[in-house]
Amino acid sequence: MTTFVHTLKPVELPDEARILQPPRVRVDKVTAESPALAVMTDLRKVRVITISPETPLNAALMVMINAKVRLLIAIDEVGVIVGLVSAQDLMGEKPLRVANDDRIHHDAVLVRQVMTRCSDVWPLNIRDVEYASVSDIVMHLIASHKQHALVIEPAVEDSSYHACGIFSATQIGRQLGEDINVSDGLAQSFSELERLIA
């Protein structure tokens, strides 16, 4: 049994107490000619939000809202990427079509039924991205009608690849200081996401 030897004594909160927190991260402004890497979320430095393909859509949507992201990477039990699921996948026509076709309730639709499977994901190679501009990435997103683009790099240990980055039209727009609309029907804010699942 644990023995507690130090008693903590609460103190009164002073009237002018402030919160000690790190400074806000400044989003660097970029131009269309800036290097593409300036707008890439580098997964070697930032932990990506993943989800099981067996997750119900409402739970996946809550993960997105809580993490303030619009893309989740679906991975299997050993960490292999099996697909990508975007806010558009969760809130567009796909879930309704799946529920109707499979004659199931909307709440029973799973991520695997609406995600973009790996065979349909056309990632960008980091070697090409290193020489690309922000404009090149924006044109790629617009041409593919995708809100996000995955970036991969060759694995050192074998002939496979690892996901090493993600481009987001929203993030690029924030850094450019203008909206980038790559497709219709996508919720434009997290308040819209919350309203849609209420």
pLDDT digits (tens, 9 = 90+) for 113-132: 999 888 788 899 999 999 99
pLDDT at res. 133: 93
Answer whether residue 17 shows pLDDT above 50.
yes
* Residue 107's CATH number: 3.10.580.10
> What is the distance between the alpha carbons of residues 96 and 27, in angstroms, rounded to a whole number?
37
> What is the distance between the alpha carbons of residues 87 and 68, in angstroms, rounded to a whole number?
11
> At 185, is the pLDDT very low, low, confident or very high (cuts 50, 70, 90)?
very low
Phi, psi of 150 (to 5 degrees): -90, 145
Residue 58, amino acid:
N
> What is the distance between the alpha carbons of residues 13 and 128, in angstroms, rounded to a whole number?
55
The residue whose two tokens read 């997964």 is: 43
pLDDT at res. 57: 93
Assigned domain for 29 exists = no
The pLDDT of 176-193, averaged and rounded, is: 60
Q: Which domain holds residue 159?
A: 36-193
The pLDDT of 56-84, averaged and rounded, is: 92
Structural domain count, the chain: 1
- Select from 22, 73, 84, 83 the least CA-distant residue to 46: 73
When the pLDDT of each residue in the chain is averaged and rounded to a whole number, the result is 83
